[in-house]
Amino acid sequence: MSYTNGLDKPSDYFTTKLYSGNSSTQSITGLDFQPDWVWCKVRSQADNHAIFDAVRGGQKQLRSNTNGAELTRTNAISSFNSDGWSMGSQPEMNTNGQTYASWNWKAGTSFTNDASGTGIGTIDSTGSASDASGFSIVSYTGTGSNGTIKHGLNTAPKMILIKQRSGTRVWLVGHNSLGWNKYLILNSTDAQGTSSGYFQSTAPTTSVFSVGTGNETNESSGTFIAYCFAEKQGYSKFGSYTGNGSTDGTFIYLGFKPAFFLAKQTTDKNWYMKDNKRLASFNPANGHIYPNQSNAEEDYADFDFLSNGVKIRHNGTDVNESGGSYIYACFASNPLVTSTGVPATAR
């Protein structure tokens, strides 16, 4: 099977970049694209996550591990560059002597939607979108009433993360495997909840996503940012798996070699994230970071990143509880076979 649409090279749209802090100015380089979403986390000590995007601007920080409002950081990202970004001495992303991981996504094409003028949705939105990779960043202002918002993609998103920028509200996560009457909270271990107030119990379409009357997605006059992800063959997958409670754990077929894996059990367990750059360059993958915590990186040799998916090698309840239901998001380092017939290999 081969893949087209520019996704023979997933690193044109997503990559993990590791670096060390210097408590001064520095430029992080080596990406194959200009990033639009940069998510940083110090690995070597406990500190908050630092999330920035080109739509809000590089001086505006969110933290995945808290429900806090957006912060203005004048010494954070000073520019998004053609192969990375430049930054100042903001401690959560650039403390001298500390090691960091960053996860970087490209969106790329700016859009502005006047809903009343275009007839697309009912709430105005602006943002940046990439149809090739199925990723968009959407900014909007809440109305407090049921509405729909243009997401900028031509494919229906399967996962959406929403954070109110202007207030102390949790991160709302909608996921196709949950159903859109349910939700998870990125900054919490909370089990999945049920409400029509966040996504109107309505799946996204190829043009819009729905928001209800809940303050976390649509408080009147609140400002919001949404990260929307549609699935692209050979590049991204948003699904679910069931744990088996064994060190010979569940295999999750993806159809590509993974670069990044984010997941959570639908009960009261931690989120976790893995990637192909931290710690061991061979299986099992062992760098463990929790999006909902400020903890330093933990060393769990619990995953194999294979040419066609993920094999779990641990029986911990965060990743593989017997009978546990988990949702995940995964991005590729290589398609299983490129359009020129080059196969992916395990690490």
60-83 mean pLDDT: 98
Would you place residue 4 in the very low, low, confident or very high pLDDT band (cuts 50, 70, 90)? very low
Q: In whole angstroms, what is the distance from residue 117 CA to residue 122 CA?
A: 10
Identify whether the C-beta of residue 110 lies closer than 8 Å to the C-beta of residue 102. Answer: no
pLDDT at position 303 is 85
Q: In whole angstroms, what is the distance from residue 168 CA to residue 176 CA?
A: 26
Task: Tell how far CA 177 is from the center of its chain.
Answer: 16
Widest pairwise Cα distance in the chain: 56
pLDDT at position 284 is 66
Q: In whole angstroms, what is the distance from residue 117 CA to residue 146 CA?
A: 19
Task: Tell how far CA 290 is from the center of its chain.
Answer: 13
162-175 mean pLDDT: 98
256-262 mean pLDDT: 95
| Statement: residue 35 has pLDDT above 50 | yes
pLDDT at position 88 is 98
pLDDT at position 340 is 46
| Statement: residue 283 has pLDDT above 90 | no
| Statement: residue 2 has pLDDT above 50 | no
pLDDT at position 145 is 98
pLDDT at position 20 is 98
| Statement: residue 279 has pLDDT above 80 | no
49-68 mean pLDDT: 98
279 class by beta-carbon count within 10 Å (0-12 exposed, 13-18 middle, 19+ buried): middle
Closest CA to 53 of 125, 111, 128, 112: 128
pLDDT at position 8 is 81
Would you place residue 288 in the very low, low, confident or very high pLDDT band (cuts 50, 70, 90)? confident
176-185 mean pLDDT: 98
pLDDT at position 188 is 98
Identify whether the C-beta of residue 234 lies closer than 8 Å to the C-beta of residue 335. Answer: yes
Tokens of 344: 């992916």
Would you place residue 7 in the very low, low, confident or very high pLDDT band (cuts 50, 70, 90)? confident
Q: pLDDT, tens digit, for every residue of 198-226?
A: 999 999 999 999 999 999 999 999 999 99
Would you place residue 345 in the very low, low, confident or very high pLDDT band (cuts 50, 70, 90)? low
pLDDT at position 151 is 98
Tokens of 343: 């196969």
